[in-house]
């Protein structure tokens, strides 16, 4: 049976990860859990009377929850029994669905990839057709939806204290990687007992880069299989799609992001195939794809993708 964790002031943290936060749910390793999330503050609500569904728990969170740091509303944390520091949490993303028929996009001065170019703040409410799985943009474009969670992470190392959800780090968090859709598996290093998994920052659609600082921000429901892996060791988040391996570099400098993602991919290829580091480096040059994940969250992101079919021959 699948456990369902709903969003509420009691099950959500607004703006932060904290290793000392108590679990709001607990599962056995390998169990499946459905987690409901909400998105945005009072300034990102749609006008009343236009047919937009606003999850009532979002209004309850606005009314009763304290926003401790700038950042996202996360549902969790969920403890995984037996998970210990040094393990890896395997997050199989089994399903991602939209919970409301609209999203929002924000531009604000001094933010985004062009922080000085756009001096007028703007919030756009974007209608979404959940049957057609499209978003209707104001100039008439019907944009396909491809929902995924911008934030998926475990508790950070205890010595970091309470940290904002905005910057992605080794514990995951605000990865904003549009490849992490249903059918993908995310791997996260574990830093505390129970791993303590949280998610939020639902996106209806996003381009690589997320250049204006937001995607189509919306409420999502995600179904995950959470498994403790004591046979793996990771320093950075990784992922695997049905067709690709993905490594992720997170750092304020994009060049450093590239180096982190590339080194991790070389190491993964060597372990998976037995190739030499030199051969793996060459393969990354011939067939690996470096992509900019996002450029707007303090710590930027680059991910490298490698087709698994090239490694299984």
Strands 238-240 and 244-251: antiparallel
Residue 271 neighbours by CB distance under 10 Å: 11
Residue 2: pLDDT above 90? no
188: helix, strand or coil? strand
Distance CA 172, CA 72 (A): 14
Give the pLDDT confidence of 249-265 residue by residue, as tens digits: 999 999 999 999 999 99
pLDDT tens for 290-301 read 999 999 999 999
Say what percent of the chain tops pLDDT 90. Answer: 97
Tell me the C-alpha distance between 63 and 41, whole Å: 10
What pTM was computed for the model? 0.97
Contact 200, 148 (CB under 8 A): no
pLDDT at residue 1, as a whole number? 64
Q: How many CB atoms lie within 10 A of CB 158?
A: 12
- Report the pLDDT value the prediction gives residue 97, as an integer from 0 to 100: 98
Q: Are 258 and 290 in contact (CB under 8 A)?
A: yes
Share of the chain above pLDDT 70, in %: 100
Split at pLDDT 50, 70, 90, the class of 202 is very high
Gyration radius of the chain's alpha carbons? 19
Distance CA 197, CA 25 (A): 10
Which pLDDT score, from 0 to 100, does residue 181 have?
Answer: 98
Average pLDDT over residues 147-153: 98
Q: What is the rounded CA–CA span in Å between residue 187 and residue 236?
A: 9
Looking at the DSSP assignment, which residues form a beta bridge with residue 124? 105
pLDDT tens figures, 207-228: 999 999 999 999 999 999 999 9
Pinpoint the alpha helices (H) of the chain.
56-64, 254-273, 277-287
The closest of 303, 302, 304, 301 to 284, measured between CA atoms, is 304
Which residues does 283 contact at the CB level (< 8 Å), separation at least 6?
Answer: 269, 275, 306, 310
Q: What is the DSSP string of 217-283?
A: B--EEEEEEEEEESS---SS-EEE-SSEEEEEEEESSHHHHHHHHHHHHHHHHHHHH---HHHHHHH
The predicted structure's pLDDT at residue 11: 98
Residue 139: DSSP 8-state:
T
| Residues in contact with 74: Cβ distance below 8 Å, sequence separation at least 6, in sequence order | 12, 13, 14, 17, 37, 151, 165, 198, 199, 200, 201
Please state the rounded mean pLDDT for residues 113-127: 97
Domains of the chain: 3-229 (2.60.120.580), 243-310 (3.10.28.20)
Residue 313 has what pLDDT? Answer: 79
Which tens digits make up the pLDDT trace of 69-89? Answer: 999 999 999 999 999 999 999
Q: What is the arithmetic mean of pLDDT over 7-13?
A: 98
Average pLDDT, the chain: 97
Average pLDDT over residues 34-51: 96
Query: How distant is the alpha carbon of residue 133 from its chain centre?
Result: 20
């Amino acid at each position: 049976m699948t456990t369902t964790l709903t969003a509420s002031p009691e099950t959500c943290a607004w703006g932060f990860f904290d290793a000392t936060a108590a679990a709001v749910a607990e599962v056995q390793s390998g169990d499946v859990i459905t987690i409901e999330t909400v998105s945005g503050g009072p300034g990102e609500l749609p006008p009343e009377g236009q047919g937009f569904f606003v999850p009532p728990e979002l209004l309850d969170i606005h009314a009763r929850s304290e926003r401790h740091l700038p950042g996202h509303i996360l549902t969790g944390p969920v403890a995984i029994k037996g998970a210990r520091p040094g393990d890896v949490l395997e997050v199989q993303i089994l399903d991602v669905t939209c919970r409301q028929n609209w999203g929002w996009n924000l531009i604000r001065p001094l933010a985004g990839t062009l922080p000085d170019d756009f001096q007028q703040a703007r919030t756009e409410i974007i209608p979404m057709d959940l049957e057609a799985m499209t978003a209707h943009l104001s100039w008439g474009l019907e944009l396909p939806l491809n929902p995924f969670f911008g934030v998926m992470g475990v508790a950070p190392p205890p010595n970091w204290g309470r940290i904002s959800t905005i910057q992605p780090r080794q514990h995951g968090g605000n990865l904003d990687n549009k490849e992490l859709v249903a059918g993908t598996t995310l791997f996260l290093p574990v830093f505390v007992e129970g791993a303590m998994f949280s998610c939020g920052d639902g996106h209806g659609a996003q381009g690589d880069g997320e250049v204006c600082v937001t995607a189509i921000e919306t409420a999502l429901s995600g179904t995950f299989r959470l498994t403790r892996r004591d046979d793996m060791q990771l320093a950075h988040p990784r992922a695997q799609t049905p067709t690709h391996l993905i490594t992720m570099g997170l750092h304020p400098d994009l060049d450093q992001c590239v180096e982190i993602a590339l080194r991790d991919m070389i190491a993964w290829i060597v372990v998976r195939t037995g190739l030499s580091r030199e051969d793996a480096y060459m393969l990354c040059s011939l067939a690996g794809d470096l992509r900019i994940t996002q450029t707007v969250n303090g710590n930027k992101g680059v991910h490298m993708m490698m087709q698994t079919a090239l490694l299984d021959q």
